[in-house]
Amino acid sequence: MVEPRVVVVGAGPAGVRCAEALASAGIRPTLVDENRRDGGQIYRRQPENFARSYAKLYGTEASRAAAIHSSFEKLRGQIDYLPQTLVWNIEGRNLYLVRDARHITLTFDALVLATGATDRLMPVKGWNLSGTYSLGGAQVALKSQACAIGADVVFAGTGALLYLVAAQYQRAGARVRAVLDTAPWSDRVGALRDLFAVPATLLKGLLLTFALRRAGVPVYTGIEPLEIVGTGAKGVSGISFKDSRGRTVDMECDAVALGYHLRPETQLADLARCEFYFDPATRQWLPQVDPDGRSSVAGVYLTGDGARVRGAAAAEKSGELAALAVLQDLGRAPDLDAMRALRRSLETFDHFARGLNQAFPWPSGQAARLSDDTIVCRCESVSVGELRQVVQQAGARESNRAKAFSRVGMGRCQGRYCGHAAAEIIAHAANVPIEKVGRLRAQAPVKPLHIATVQNADEARSNASVEGVR
């Protein structure tokens, strides 16, 4: 019997648990990861010559991080591991990779995408100034490089990560000037019932907030950011915001960490032709998956935060479950009881995720209030006013059309950081519901590549004349 070719993309908690379950069923998966080391973003490893302990690095999640890393070490002999490798396109059953500027084509029978998430961003005037970082970026600086993004840092946005990263900075000895949360306290009270689905995580969140307050860090809730103040030459020098009573507060700082929860990285799912649907609770388009992680395309599975943002603990479960679904679809007999238990456990995390979305909602209303001179596309410095103009004057009421006219979403980040806010701006300017605006279609390459690499790929493809590939 020919071994089925199973490829897992992403070596975070979902990808590692998926590869582990496949390996223990006797399959040798290929694990492709863009990072230099395993762990994903959440359990990102520090360089080999760093000395901080797991407890210091990962806090309450130290034992989980250690377990994932050691599981991966044990797996190394049973998988084909391709670190520092970018998957830049998918066509049919072919996966196009780049490693060391060299092109590789992998053909798969089953593909599991465990691509994780990046910060979800709402622009604010001045967010293009140097010294503004995504919340996740601020955490990476600390966790993997033992650095703070500035000497005097303001954490702004909303979500669990806002408090987590601020608390990690405070504990590491960095100066946390303030935490500015756009979500009002009342939302948290309303969400309590759902948050009790996972009481341990709820408790950890509350303890973080208390730790910040005990350390004397000012925590503002129900705020609206007005401007990140500074100059193009010197970068950030402060932040201005409206507090919950509507008063304007000016605060000095030299760095701002900004983020509003997370958004799944779905470009590869899109290139694999997976169907998407609009999720009204989070106001974004998500790829369709069944409870086990099967997408709408046979043989393509979506797992972890790359499918649904439910956090690292859920990602481990969903990675394992996706592996069992792969086995089932390949005609191997997985443990059905284990599948049922994993599904049940994921329902609990779904419940908790609903609570988090309610407690820390995406501040969609801000989009309408952004000034015309606010930059929406950081890549190419396109302003909110320019985007509104293509909606109102050129009649571009759909995301991809507005992108063609304004270049918002066409820059080097390919809409990762502007796309969700741009959709809100378009919807408001066109006076249509957000779901009518559609979603930015993913384009290959999903990250910038040297043109020579793509040319080599084209040659390789025409030489191979693979069936089903244009």
Partner 1 sequence: MGGRFVRVGEAGRRVITLSVDGKPIQAYEGDTLLVAILTSIGNLRTSEFGDGLRAGFCLMSACQDCWVWTTHGERLRACSTVLTEGMTVSTQQPEGTWSNLE
Q: Considering beta carbons, is residue 136 or 299 the nearer one to partner 1?
A: 136
Q: Considering beta carbons, is residue 150 or 361 the nearer one to partner 1?
A: 150
Beta carbons of 327 and 25 less than 8 angstroms apart: yes
What amino acid is encoded at 290 in this protein?
D
Residue 50 Cβ vs partner 1, minimum distance, rounded to whole Å = 5
Residue 175 Cβ vs partner 1, minimum distance, rounded to whole Å = 9
SS3 (DSSP) at 447: coil
Beta carbons of 424 and 459 less than 8 angstroms apart: no
Using CA atoms, how far apart are residues 428 and 432, in angstroms rounded to an integer?
7
Q: For 459, how many CA atoms within 13 A lie in the half-sphere containing its CB?
A: 7
Site for partner 1 in 400-459 (CB under 8 A): 412-413, 416-417, 447-452
Q: Considering beta carbons, is residue 167 or 198 the nearer one to partner 1?
A: 167
**b/e string for 170-206 if b means 16 or more Cβ within 10 A?**
bbbebebbbbbbbbbeebbeebeebbebbeebbebbe
CA distances to 102, 269, 307 from 321, in Å: 33, 18, 13
Residue 37 Cβ vs partner 1, minimum distance, rounded to whole Å = 11
The rounded Cα 3 to chain-centroid distance in angstroms is: 33
Site string for partner 1, 157-176 (x = CB under 8 A): ---------------xxx--
Is 9 one of the binding residues for partner 1 (CB under 8 A)? no
Using CA atoms, how far apart are residues 156 and 223, in angstroms rounded to an integer?
9
Residue 138 Cβ vs partner 1, minimum distance, rounded to whole Å = 8
Binding residue (CB under 8 A) for partner 1 from 114, 149, 253, 321: 149
Residue 452 Cβ vs partner 1, minimum distance, rounded to whole Å = 7
- Phi, psi for residue 224 in degrees, rounded to 5: -130, 120
Q: Considering beta carbons, is residue 89 or 144 the nearer one to partner 1?
A: 144
Q: For 45, how many CA atoms within 13 A lie in the half-sphere containing its CB?
A: 18
# chain residues binding partner 1, by CB under 8 A? 60
Using CA atoms, how far apart are residues 230 and 131, in angstroms rounded to an integer?
9
Residue 133 Cβ vs partner 1, minimum distance, rounded to whole Å = 6
Residue 168 Cβ vs partner 1, minimum distance, rounded to whole Å = 10
Is 199 one of the binding residues for partner 1 (CB under 8 A)? no
Site string for partner 1, 107-146 (x = CB under 8 A): -----------xx--------xxxxxxx-xxx-xxx-xxx
* Residues near partner 1, by CB under 8 A: 34-36, 41, 46-52, 118-119, 128-134, 136-138, 140-142, 144-151, 172-174, 231-235, 254-255, 265, 375, 378-381, 412-413, 416-417, 447-452
